[in-house]
Amino acid sequence: MPLALLGRPSSALEDTATAARASGVRVETIACDLERPDEISAAGRTVLERHGAPEVLVNNAAVIRRAPVEDLTLGDWDEQLAVNLRAPFLTTQAFLPSMRQAGRGRIIQISSISATLGTPRASAYSASKWGLVGFMKSLAEELRDSGLMTVALLPGSVDTEMLRGSGFPPRMTPDEVARTIAYYALDAPLAHNGGVVEMFGV
């Protein structure tokens, strides 16, 4: 099964594809702005036409716009809710019928430790990540006895560009998060359906 990467065209997207290919993985990048429902729908159709039902869907894209509540613009609020919460709903919706028909598949929602606590200047981000856990929990109930599962991973301070300016030191590496995703995507028993995996770091 090839790896399909959906996202806005960028050097980061191409770097990810290059790294995966270096590991022997067949990779296709599909241009998709996750703020745009029409582009998500089109990308979903492309994946299904070319590759069929995915075995694993990882909803990983996220944005954060830091500002106090009184200074947070409606545009920044809407962007974060669109990318961090609406997009996972739309990508899940795009692939779920084919996964149900196949009778197998795993849907991994990448939330955040911000779904368990409040952080100054991150109200929209936190709201979106709390919402993503709630969405996953309801989806898990709908997936009972289907052969599918969904879980939410809640990483804390990961050493990435997104952490810059947060005031928090990194407590884990991207590789540690990636290995956790791989476990739930490939090896974890289906009994983990509905699970929330908190990663506070060390």
Is 125 a catalytic site residue?
yes
Q: If you ran DSSP here, which 8-state letter would residue 85 be given? A: I
CB 151 within 8 A of CB 195: yes
Q: C-alpha distances in angstroms, 170 versus 83, 126, 154, 173?
A: 23, 18, 14, 8
- Choose, from 110, 111, 113, 125, the residue flagged as catalytic: 125
Element (H, E) at 64: none
Which pair of structure tokens corresponds to residue 125? 């981000």
H helices within the chain, ranges in order? 11-22, 37-51, 74-81, 87-102, 123-142, 174-182
Alpha carbon 194 to its chain's center:
15
Alpha carbon 73 to its chain's center:
24
- 120 vs 102: CA distance, rounded Å: 44
Q: State the catalytic residues.
A: 125
